Amino acid sequence: MSDDRSGFVVWLTGLSGAGKSTIASLLQAELAERGRPAEVLDGDEVRTNLSKGLGFSKEDRDTNIRRIGYVARLLARNGGVAITAAISPYREIRDEIRAQTPNFVEVFVRCSLDELVRRDVKGLYRRAIAGEIPNFTGVSDPYEEPLRPEVMVDSERQTPAESVAAVVRHLERRGLVRTPFRDRLLRGDEQAAAQAEARVLPRLGVDARTAADVFMLGSGALTPLDGFLGAEDYRSVVETARLAGGSPLGVPVVLRVDAAGAATRGRVALYHEGRPVGVLDVEEAFEAPADQEAECVYGTPDDAHPGVAALRQAGTHALAGPVTAFTPDGLGQYDLTPRQVREARAQRGWRTMVGFQTRNPVHRAHEYLQKVALENIDGLLLHPLIGETKSDDIPAETRMRCYEVLLRDYYPAERTCGATTAAPTSSSVATTPGWAVTTTRMLRIGSSTSTSRPSWASRSCASSTPSGAGSATTWPRRARARTPPRTVRR
């Protein structure tokens, strides 16, 4: 498992003029903002200090790449970050560097020869095509494309910023850089423009659960996710309850489709009951076996379990990629996004905040826990689950009226905040044991939570789950406040 203090190497490879140097420079700036300064091995410094005296034979090219790889490897081994932007045309030497380097991330910057000729203001490609320049990579010398790069970007179709975002997403998923909280919900004019685009894009109909997942992804409640899981993360979550990079995730967040839908590619508009809920940039499609997911996540293959039933009614395949979510109309008074909860905390001047979340009305035991919390913590977030829950639950309207009485008449207004999850609890992440606390954790409210599955679920995948992956996470006990306890007023 990686962590955000591990060293790593981002190895950009592609033909001359594809945009490697531009991406390297922008990536360096992005990593610096996240507290991970990086060295870029490119340009004059490499030519002066590493490549001086080398020619264009294959042997000299290999020597050049080995020298760059050696410096990058030293940085990574000592916790640093290196970004290389050499052409590195030969697959064998790139694989050699990969085998020797910790946390090696190969990024293929693809660009067609026609586009490279068009971009080439010096006319070098035209001269090479005319035979005037020998040993020119991509023309008279081979360039061997990577077979399985960690990231592939297309500089003809993607802006440099979009390419950098794709690389950063991979680093986040690997746990090599921290994922900052992001609210990606579109609003106002930006949303209007995106909805206009959605009307002309291919449409994909989604159910209520998937529509809720789209909103949760967009609101940042599922940070570090910015979209539906790819195959690697999906398998890891099913088997270990963690993303491939190590971040805990109890339930796979996927967009299931049938076999025909698995052929979908590019940008598609997601519609639920005739209204657009977001846009998906499809990066991958894969099989997602329902039987294995049911056993590992829910601990049973029985369709009597609502989660298993919903799983079997969905498709056999899944689409993966980042999501752009629209802010729905008509959110209620308490339907607050994570960003709005943070703003409420800041407005109240709370340094610490604890969250209480349940699908039930408040019991006496709940009241006691909340009052104890208020004796030690600056603020209390009451965060009830509403919407579709169990068939024999007290109706959501009644539950909310109970909470409103507490907020209005019982707890001090300056010490409490009421909020609900603005997505309906039909969201796949809100209907599963363990996910209520995970959603609260994603709100960054300072509560102590377990992100594991229930023991009965983790046991079912014991053969494929690493030791301890299914056990409860123990969080450090919060130190008591140094100021005297505050008395809660009735």
Domains parsed from the chain with CATH numbers: 8-174 (3.40.50.300), 188-325 (3.10.400.10), 338-443 (3.40.50.620)
- Continuous H helices in 411-481: 435-442, 455-459
pLDDT digit string (tens) for 386-424? 766 666 777 878 888 888 999 999 999 899 999 887 554
Of the candidates 5, 11, 4, 77, the residue with the CA atom closest to the CA atom of residue 41 = 11
Omega within 30 of 0 (cis) for the link into 433? no
Bridge-based pairing of strands 203-205 and 81-84 is: unpaired
Parallel, antiparallel, or unpaired for β 317-325 and 335-336? unpaired
d(CA 438, CA 232): 21
**CA max distance for the chain:** 89
CA dihedral 450, 452, 458, 463 (to 10 degrees): -130
Which residue is associated with the tokens 């989604």? Answer: 206
C-alpha span between 357 and 257 (Å, rounded): 32
Residue 251 carries which side chain, given as an amino acid letter? V
Q: Which of 62, 312, 327 is nearest to 185 (CA)?
A: 327
pLDDT of residue 462: 39
**Residue showing tokens 């922008």:** 26
Q: How is residue 144 written in tokens?
A: 């061997």
What is the C-alpha to C-alpha distance for residues 60 and 44, in angstroms, rounded to an integer?
Answer: 17
With residue 154 as reference, give the H or E element that holds it: strand 151-154
Q: How far apart are CA 427 and CA 435, in angstroms?
A: 10
Give the per-residue pLDDT at 452: 45
Q: Which residues of the chain have pLDDT under 50?
A: 1, 424-427, 430-460, 462-490
Active site positions, annotated:
88
CB-based contacts of 58, cutoff 8 Å, min separation 6:
90
Distance CA 202, CA 210 (A): 17
Q: Spell out a b/e string for 417-431, using b for 16 or more CB atoms within 10 Å of the CB, else e.
A: bbbbbbbbbbbbbbb
What CA–CA distance (Å, rounded) separates 56 from 73? Answer: 24
- For 68, the token pair is 């760059």
Q: Which amino acid is at 127?
A: R
SS3 355: strand
The answer to whether 214 and 310 are in contact (CB under 8 A) is no
Type of residue numbered 459 = R
pTM: 0.62
H or E stretch including 109? Answer: strand 104-110
Query: How far apart are alpha carbons 369 and 356 in whole angstroms?
Result: 9
Q: Which residue has the tokens 């009421």?
A: 418
Residue with tokens 């498709």: 315
Burial level of 77, CB count in 10 A (0-12/13-18/19+)?
middle
CA-based end-to-end distance of the chain: 49
Say if residues 8 and 176 touch (Cβ distance below 8 Å). Answer: yes
Structure tokens at 80: 């640093």
The Cα–Cα gap between 359 and 354 comes to: 17
